[in-house]
Structure 1
Amino acid sequence: MLAPFLSDLFSNQQYDSNNFFLIAGPCVVESEELVMEVADKVYGICRNLGIPYVFKASYRKANRTSANSFTGLGDDTGLHLLKKVGEHYKLPVTSDVHAHDEAAVAAEYIDILQIPAFLCRQTDLLLAAADTGKIVNVKKGQFLSGPSMQFAAEKIRKAGNDKVMLTERGTTFGYQDLVVDYRNIPWMKEHNAPVIMDCTHSLQQPNQTSGVTGGNPQLIETIAKAAIATGADGLFIETHPNPAVAKSDGANMLKLDLLEGLLEKLVRLRKAI
């Protein structure tokens, strides 16, 4: 059963209330054509499967490995395109914010403010996001345990905002890999917040000497199935029509054509458990 604030968020969609919800889209706003293509395809799939859907794309990528990496089309353009997607398909949209002074601006265009994992302890950012009154989705730092995420949730709630979600996205394993500890899903659910599994960023291989993050997208299905089996409320999946030419995180995104088959399996698994 969805939390009340999520039921309100998905009020324009018809869905199975016993399903998981999905946050999906390309890593970054590359063009209007891309965001519209992905939103159209994913929305159609989710509507047919009864999955509540949030469109995701970053209007700006502030935490790239290399200074030469693509960061976006500009904040104003990126935010306007996100709002256009939401209005056209009547979907909630989300994007990440990286500094406290971005929160109020972004909140005028998006429905969920996403706090990047590296910044999950940044108090001024969490408080600024809370002050917008929007849903705040905090990604668990790669350096933190699930139980320690209670403090991030508490900061937001003490600021007067109870609309908190927490996302598992893997834990640092050596210098260039991540591992998922699925104990974190039930542990974070103890904080009385919906818990999401980031099925793509948890497969990153960061800190490559090339300056481009690697990944293991062939394991997205494995990560997603295990997340459903361990009680995740939602899934986060970055997807792109052609990850090989994506301008950010192509190494760990799911090819768009593979999404429907994966979601069909996950819906069956959810019903089975």
Structure 2
Amino acid sequence: MKEVKVNDDVIFGNNRPFVLIAGPCVIEEEDRVLRIAEKIKAITERLGIPYVFKSSYDKANRSSIESFRGPGLESGLEILKKVKDEFGLPVISDVHTVEQAKSAAEVLDIMQIPAFLSRQTDLLVAAGETDKVINVKKGQFLAPWDIDQVVAKIESTGNEKILLTERGVSFGYNNLVVDMRSLPRMKKTGYPVVFDATHSVQLPGGAGDSSAGEREYVPYLTRAAVGAGIDAIFMEVHDEPEVALCDGPNMVPLDELEELLIKAKAIDEIVKEN
């Protein structure tokens, strides 16, 4: 398997300990973002877990026209740069258009392709051409083997710094299900595989004008995915999910994160014999 290196502290793949990608779903106020980043960094440093901060400057795919989307590209990137400068953390955020790719690459260490855009050829190529690490969320409508063509599009740019994320597949209306067979199948691409533990329990559009979620199942799916040998855990975390402006029902409460990671790390060490 190819290793994907962000920096000396964050390296994905080749039977290494899992990397945590975590933060609030969307950038809300700057103070909250910085506070959450600082607290998650402290937790991961105590546990010895490599960490990448995640938050979206724009959530373009929302259920309602009234839904909060975030501060936008320019303001959002400024806040993510503060996270990098103040805490020394690599950062990841969603890129939605070809035009965003170049500007986002000036700040982001990992560029994320949202699930619903995972087949958009022009976007994948533009992201690949930045030579940044690219994390593709596998679409809820894709089979695991469909990701092979997604990988080929990015590789066509000469960029082989690719991460592939499983976030569940559509199962009837307003529901997702995770097929754990998807994880080893996606690894056959030769690239590190990430498991999105919080979007996998999302109920898309389940609340009518917003998505619902079942966060109580996050620990179970996390342990199962770590047991399957994944290379990273993607997890949205908030200090007060009940008042979060996006995806609150499936985000992990910050005060529950450490216990969840302790158990995940123990499983990871057994599986990988680290």
Quote the Cα distance in structure 1 between the aligned partners of 2:70 and 2:40: 22
Aligned to 2:193: 195
Secondary structure of 1:105's aligned partner: helix
Partner of 2:21, secondary structure, is strand
Quote the Cα distance in structure 1 between the aligned partners of 2:136 and 2:10: 24
Q: Give, in angstroms, the shift of residue 32 of structure 1.
A: 1.1
SS in 2 for 1:37: helix
Classify the secondary structure of the residue corresponding to 2:52.
strand
CA contact (8 A) 2:20 2:49 kept: yes
Q: Percent identity?
A: 47
3-state DSSP of counterpart to 1:263: helix
Aligned equivalents of 1:156, 1:137: Cα separation in 2: 11
Alpha carbon RMSD of aligned pairs, Å?
A: 1.5
| 1:194 CA displacement | 0.6
Unaligned ranges ≥5, structure 1: none
The reply to whether residue 241 of structure 1 matches residue 206 of structure 2 is: no
Per-residue CA shift, 1:34-73, capped at 9, x if unaligned? 1111111111111111111000000111001000000112
Q: Which residue of 1 aligns with 2:72?
A: 74
Structure 2 residue runs without a partner (length 5+): none
What is the match of residue 4 of structure 2? 5
Who is 1:179 aligned against?
177
Structure-2 separation of matches of 1:12 and 1:173: 37
Partner of 1:221: 219
Q: Name the residue aligned to 1:52.
A: 50
Change (3 A) 1:272 1:44: same
Q: TM-score, normalised by structure 2?
A: 0.95
TM-score normalised by length of structure 1: 0.95
**Structure 1 residue 10: Cα displacement:** 3.5
Aligned residues: 268
- After TM superposition, list the pairs within 5 Å mapping 1:9-158 onto structure 2: 9-12=6-9, 18-158=16-156
Q: Give the secondary-structure state (helix, strand or coil) at the position aligned to 2:139.
A: coil
* Native 8 Å contact 1:149 1:188 kept in 2: yes
Measure how far apart 1:74 and its partner are: 2.9
- Give the Cα–Cα distance (whole angstroms) in 2 for the partners of residues 5 and 178 of structure 1: 28
Helix, strand or coil: the match of 1:224? helix
Write the distance in 2 (CA, Å) between the matches of 1:29 and 1:203: 21
Deviation of residue 254 (structure 1)?
Answer: 0.4
- The alpha-carbon distance between structure 1 residues 23 and 68, as it changes in their structure 2 partners (threshold 3 A), is same
